[in-house]
Structure 1
Amino acid sequence: MIVLASASPRRQELLSLITENYKIEPAHIDESIHEQIDLYKIPEHLAFKKAEYVHKLHPDDTVIGCDTGVFVDSQMIGKPKSDKAAFEILKLLSGKTHLVITGCAIFKGSRVIRFSQVTEVEFYELSNAEIEEYIATGDPSDKAGAYGIQGKGSLLVRQIKGDYFNVVGLPVALLNKKLNEI
């Protein structure tokens, strides 16, 4: 049995492209970073911590942990805590290319695989009115980088280079390959 260490409905939907035989067990971990970790490896580190936590609860199952981060101007952008924060994030991303990195960890018995997938996303130059209109949809509130490419956030995106599903939150093809390896 596969256990997804995530409550994300988007990840659940994407995992169902690989298998219908899975269950959900969200990881309740402290996501603060105390160790010296390369900025771009933070999602992979958090994915490992999530998978490790759930693997202790389900040691006989294959456990998948994931974490997605948005990076621009050498900083990691999290989920906005308010509409004002969402506005500031979207203004920062406006007209720029940013990186979306999803880190994954798979635990199966004593074996562990860790990996990351990187996608470049370029936003159109956004007016204040466009940003406010998007925020009014409520879409930015629970998403890293304050947007969801699979919904109305797609209207902000000029182009992507890389895996679309990675931006949604789960690099499906790469994850499937790694599951077959383990």
Structure 2
Amino acid sequence: MRRVILASSSPRRIELLKQFGIKFEIIPSNVDESINQSLSVEENVIQLAKKKAQEVFIKLGEDSKQSLIIAADTVVYVEGIILGKPSNEDEAFWMLRKISGKWHTVYTGVCVIDGPSERILVEYEKSNVYIKQMSDEDILRYISTKEPFDKAGAYAIQGFGSLIVERIEGCFYNVVGLPLYRLNIMLQKLGYDLMKGEL
């Protein structure tokens, strides 16, 4: 019996996978998600997604041979700077001010490890997002919702953050944290298909 593992405790990623009626387990990775500004944004998300999946693969031991592991890592890229999750209110304020009134790019690296075939696939998706011009008061009001603190770039497109997102180009679910179209392409390469409920 194959075990499907989501290597994340992100409520957004959990909800996105649940909508397909898939039975899966949640085993979060404990990988350090620190951003390496000396690497490209693509390298950052690909490396972190792969590290997360591999850590859970090792954690499973013998069970890894019958497991399909899905991991993802999301960051925001603006004006040459990679933004992860803010660790406090000051960081959240700085990030939101940084992306206010301009376009930024959201990158998500996705790694799928197929235990039975021992294949590892790693890809990334990117989307462009325009955040409305916000006053300091707007930013503080948004921070007071507590929504920014576990989100790359300090906002959630599907929550109160939807009120500050003016435009988006590309995959919406990528901005949420799990690009479903990209994920399914990867799964199809391994012989699975979310559309057919094959996982």
Considering the TM-score relative to the shorter chain, is it more than 0.5? yes
Asked whether 1:89 is paired with 2:95, we answer yes
Asked whether 1:129 is paired with 2:137, we answer yes
Deviates more, 1:79-88 or 1:104-113: 79-88
Q: Sequence identity, in percent?
A: 41
Q: Name the counterpart of 1:48.
A: 50
CA offset at residue 178 of structure 1?
1.3
Q: Which amino acid aligns with 1:70?
A: V
After superposition, the CA RMSD in angstroms is 1.6
* Cα distance, 1:82–1:30 mapped onto 2, change above 3 Å: closer
Asked whether 1:167 is paired with 2:169, we answer no
Among 121, 136, 157, the residue aligned to 1:149: 157
Deviates more, 1:33-42 or 1:150-159: 33-42
In structure 2, distance between residues paired with 1:92 and 1:37: 20
CA offset at residue 174 of structure 1?
1.6
Among 66, 71, 74, the residue aligned to 2:77: 71
Q: Which amino acid aligns with 2:143?
A: I
CA offset at residue 44 of structure 1?
1.4
CA offset at residue 40 of structure 1?
2.6
In structure 2, distance between residues paired with 1:18 and 1:181: 19
Structure 1: runs of 5 or more not aligned: none
Asked whether 1:180 is paired with 2:188, we answer yes
Among 21, 24, 45, the residue aligned to 2:23: 21
Task: State the TM-score, normalizing by the size of structure 2.
Answer: 0.86
Count residues with an aligned counterpart: 182
Task: State the TM-score, normalizing by the size of structure 1.
Answer: 0.94
Structure 2: runs of 5 or more not aligned: 191-199
